[in-house]
Amino acid sequence: MPPLPPLTDLLDAAHVVTLPLRRRFRGITEREALLLRGPAGWGEFAPFLEYGPVESARWLDAGIEAAWRGFPPPRRERVEVNATVPAVDAADVPAVLARFPGCRTAKVKVAEAGAGFAVRLAQDVARVAAVREALGPRGAVRVDANAGWSVEQAFEALTVLGAFGLEYAEQPCATLEEMALLRRRLAAAGTPVPLAADESVRKAEDPLRVAGLEAADVVVVKVAPLSGVARALEVARSCGLPVVVSSALDTSVGLAAGTALAAALPDLPHACGLGTAALLAADVSAEPLLPVGGSLPVGPARADPELLERHRAPADRERWWRERLAAAHAVLARDAAAGPPAGPPFKDGRRTADS
C-alpha cells in the first residue's frame, strides 16, 4: 500500500461543510462532511456521527484513496442509477420522483422507526403502491428496510409488498443468519422476493459469509465503509454475487468514488443507488452529480471554493471533525505500523475484506 499521508497534510487539506437535506433522511436534516484536496483530486471523509475511530478509519482510507491515489480505470462511461424515495407520505411520491429524471428504478425506504408495525406497514404499502403507479409495470421497485424488521415482521411485510413485483428487498433484518432464515421461509411460501445484503456486508469482518450462508441474492456495496474503491472491488469479487453500488448520503465528491467503483466492475446488472445528491438541498460541487436520463457520468468531482465557504460548518463542528480525522488517522497509522496481519491473508483461497 502507498504510504499514509501525514496528519498535518490532511488537516491542511481539510474543509468541513454542513449541507441541508430536502427532507429528513436517516433521522437527520443536515449532512456534515469533511472534504480533502490531494494530489489526485478531491476525497470525502463523512462517516455517520455515531461511528467510532476504528470504523471511521475505513472512511478516511477511502477519502485518502480518492485524493492521493486515484481510482482504477473505468469499463463504462455512465452508470444507471435509481431514484431514492424516503419514508414520505404516498401523496408526496410524485414530487420526490421528479427529482430523479429518467430513472426507471426506485428504492423505497420502509420500516421507518416510529409508529407500531401495523401502522408502519400500511404506510409502506401505500408508498410502494404510489411508486409502482408512477413507474408503471416496467419500472423496477426495490425496498430498503435498513434492518428494521424481525424475521416474522419481514416475512409478513414482504408477503404483502411482494405483490408489487419487487426487484429485491434490501437488508430486511439485522443479521445474515436472520436473512438466511427469511430467505428460506420466503422460498418455501412461494413468495418471490430476492434479498439484498447491505449493512451486514459493510460491517461484517468476512463478506464471504453472505454467499456461504445463502443469505442474499444481491450484495450492496458502498465505497467509504469498505476503505475505498480498490478494496470494494475485492469484496465484490469475493462475494460472487451480483453487486449494486450505493452511496452513504455522500456529497458529489463521495458519489464520484461510487461511480468509479460501478464503472470498474466487470458486470453491473442493476441500477446503482448513486443518485442521492438529489436528496441534498445544497452540494459542494458547482456541477453536482444529479441523474440525467436516469444515469450519472463517470469522472472526478471537484469541490467549489465558493460553495465550501458558503456551507462551511460552524467553528465547534469544524473542530469536532478535525479531531475525528485525527483519531481515524491514528488508527490507520497504527495498522500501518503493525504491518500485514499474522497468518494467511486469504480464507478459502480468497482475500477477505480486512486482509
Residues annotated within a binding site for Mg(2+): 144, 170, 198
Question: φ and ψ at 218, to 5 degrees?
Answer: -140, 150
The whole-angstrom separation of Cα 151 and Cα 112 is 16
Residue in the block written with cell 450505493 = 246
Retrieve residue 26's grid coordinates: 436517516
Contact yes or no for 199/171 (Cβ under 8 A): yes
Contact yes or no for 133/98 (Cβ under 8 A): no
Under DSSP, the state recorded for 277 is G
**Among the listed residues 6, 67, 8, the one whose alpha carbon sits nearest the alpha carbon of residue 35:** 67
Cite the beta strand spans of the chain per DSSP E. 14-25, 28-38, 41-45, 78-80, 83-85, 105-109, 140-144, 166-170, 195-197, 218-222, 243-246, 295-297, 346-347, 350-351
The whole-angstrom separation of Cα 277 and Cα 281 is 8
The whole-angstrom separation of Cα 15 and Cα 43 is 11
Number of residues in the chain: 355
Retrieve residue 348's grid coordinates: 478459502
Retrieve residue 166's grid coordinates: 419487487
The whole-angstrom separation of Cα 79 and Cα 295 is 5
Sign, CA torsion 204/205/207/209: negative
Residue numbers annotated as active site: 109, 222
Retrieve residue 5's grid coordinates: 499521508
Residue in the block written with cell 475511530 = 53
Helices and strands (H and E) in the chain: how many:
12, 14
